[in-house]
């Protein structure tokens, strides 16, 4: 079996992709919440 195929099989057995998806989703949710709750300077806005 090739190295890549063994790596993919091992990642599947250890649920690496599922854990990666959970961490990605959670970090996106946290960043979105922080983004909505903080004030940012208005760059490029002219009165």
What pLDDT sits at residue 44?
Answer: 75
- Answer yes or no: are the C-beta atoms of 17 and 11 closer than 8 Å: yes
Give the N- to C-terminal CA distance of the chain in Å, as an integer: 65
Domain boundaries, the chain: 3-37
Q: What is the mean pLDDT of each run of 10 residues along the chain (47 residues)?
A: 91 92 97 91 73
> Distance (Å, rounded) from C-alpha 47 to C-alpha 42?
11
What pLDDT sits at residue 47?
Answer: 62
What pLDDT sits at residue 20?
Answer: 94
What ranges in the chain are assigned the alpha helix state H? 3-13, 16-37
DSSP letter for 41, please: -
What pLDDT sits at residue 1?
Answer: 75
Q: Cβ neighbours of residue 1 under 8 Å, at least 6 residues apart? A: 9
């Amino acid at each position: 079996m090739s190295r890549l195929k063994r790596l993919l099989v091992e990642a599947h057995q250890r649920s690496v992709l599922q854990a990666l998806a959970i961490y990605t989703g959670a970090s996106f949710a946290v960043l979105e919440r922080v983004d909505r709750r903080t004030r940012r300077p208005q760059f490029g806005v002219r009165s």
